[in-house]
Amino acid sequence: MALIKTVNGHTPTIGNDCYIAENATIVGQVTMGNQCSVWFNAVVRGDVNSIVIGNKVNIQDGAVLHCTYQKTKVVIGNNVSIGHNALVHGCTIHDNVLIGMGAIVMDNCVIGSNSIVAAGAVVLENTVVPEGCVYAGVPAKKVKDISPELQNGEINRIANNYVMYSSWFKQ
């Protein structure tokens, strides 16, 4: 059974039709929407500040979401995929975003809607990723605009697939 723990009087709130893996950890001031999934060894740690997660968000294996005490919160929109072993810390991620495997998104970053942060990218503190583009590299920089094919082929496909995958584990 997943570790879902109250911290400092804050108990995570999990929406309808969500899948939480048996060894995932969700603690503290966390609010999660509907049709979300938190996968194996992922950690959503709302102990020092709040984490608000929209609908149809998948937090893949080994990913970590955390904040900075009394400074930064995590806010994640709808239809967002956070890839395996990604680190999302004290930032805002708007709707229809893919955070690639092993990417790091640091404090006070804002990731605009319909964007991709590539696998392994490091989005430095205070970076604003404009809507509709791909950021890659260390430090992450804009490499191109999102095409409709890339949005449907990657962002929407992955988010929809994770809703399907989670249904296999709820049976």
* CATH number of the domain bearing residue 145: 2.160.10.10
Domain count across the chain: 1
Q: How far apart are CA 46 and CA 31, in angstroms?
A: 9
Write down the pLDDT at residue 148: 85
Q: Do 18 and 35 contact (CB within 8 A), yes or no?
A: yes
pLDDT at 171 over 80: no
pLDDT at 1 over 90: no
pLDDT, one tens digit per residue, over 123-168 is: 999 999 999 999 999 999 999 999 888 888 899 999 999 999 999 9
52: Cβ contacts below 8 Å, ≥ 6 apart: 30, 31, 73, 74, 75, 76
- Rg of the chain over Cα atoms, rounded to whole angstroms, equals 15
Q: Residue 131, exposed/middle/buried by CB under 10 A (0-12, 13-18, 19+)?
A: middle
Q: Could you list the residue range(s) of the whole structural domain that residue 165 is in?
A: 3-169
